[in-house]
Chains A and B, each alone.
Chain A
Amino acid sequence: MPPSYNFNDFKHACNDENLVIPSKHAIENAETIFNLKTKKMLLDFISNDGLEELDFINTKPWEMNPDPDTVVMIDAYEFKSMNILGYIAFFYSERTNKWIIKSFKLSINRNMMMYLALKKAGLCNDEKIGGCNE
């Protein structure tokens, strides 16, 4: 299933702080994991192509949508930033005309990323995969 939104529309919306609302957890993770301490820093990061090697994962209906007559889809992507593999999920609310960043966090595949980096550095071989994962 293709993405429900054009990512560039979301990216351009990030130039306007009034159009995009990050969730509490997205803001917290942006600070602790990505050193993006404010909403402005987070949106600037996204609008300036900070999400590298963007990879679409899936699109799913928003489970908490209180309006059964309107389907709201959430697009999820993985991205890279230096050695961090991140995950972002967002949706657009037609009711409020705002984009919501629902998740902004480490990807669940981060261990594999770390493993590959360690392997590349010669610090981990195939026999030690279990030891290298958390």
Chain B
Amino acid sequence: MMKKLEDVMNKKVVICPACGSDSIETIETEKTIKEPYGEPLRISINEYTCKVCGIQGDFLDNNDQIISTAIESAKKNSIYNIIEDLSQKKISMSAIERALDLPQRTLSKWKNGLSSPSASGVTLMYAVRTYPWLLDVAQHKFDPIVSRDVHIKAAVSDLLKMIPVIQEDIFTESGMIATSNSLFMYIKIDKKDQNTQIESSKRENYSLKDVSFTEVTE
């Protein structure tokens, strides 16, 4: 009996922070937390709606803790996936640690959950996973000339992957027009249709602005 009374006494009454009304509707909502390169994580949070003034939100301030914990968990999962992915690409953890000036065994500790990277450490790993050539840049002590060359080489390599080249296609024409702040590239491909044996021509245009890439198909 005393326990029940205690529960009632301790029960938090939800008050609208805007108008002070206690006419509040509680809605349990599902939320997805996703960090780059990690699997989505589903959590359940409570949201409140004031029936009098219509304000909606987390009136009891409970959700922040739930969301923060889920983000931490999602980040750990991301870090695990990133390190695993780099390992599969035959990039050794000790080589990454050497290039990035991290203490040896840092990555294995992050991967196994023995320690957690700081927020900047997490962002560093997202950047390395997105642009693995950053390791090459770091390895060369961020030398501006080497960094530029590595960057351009990686960009051209990506660009070539984006151009639809089939072995039997023939490049009949190509060119590049550059201005001080943009680059326009075009290639003309003659395609041979397997069924009709009719040759068709297609011109692909590529426009580069700084490091961004836009494809325009005629």
Contacts and interface: CB of A to CB of B under 8 A. Distances in A.
Nearest to B21: A66
A1 interface: no
A39 interface: yes
Interface string A23-64: 111110000000001111000000000000000000000101
B57 A66 contact: no
A39 B64 contact: yes
A5 B17 CA distance: 18
A60 to B, nearest CB: 15
B56 interface: yes
B contact patch SS: loop
Interface size class of A (residues with CB under 8 A): 20 to 34
Nearest to A99: B17
Interface stretch (A14-22, A80-88, A109-117): A14-22
A95 B59 CA distance: 15
Q: Which 5 A-B pairs have the closest CB atoms?
A: A24-B56, A95-B20, A21-B17, A98-B17, A64-B53
Interface of B: 15-21, 47, 52-59, 61, 63-64, 67-68, 71, 181-182, 209
Given A23-B57, A91-B18, 19 more contacts: A17-B61, A18-B61, A21-B58, A23-B55, A26-B57, A37-B67, A38-B64, A38-B67, A62-B18, A64-B54, A65-B53, A66-B21, A66-B52, A67-B19, A93-B20, A96-B18, A102-B55, A122-B182, A123-B182
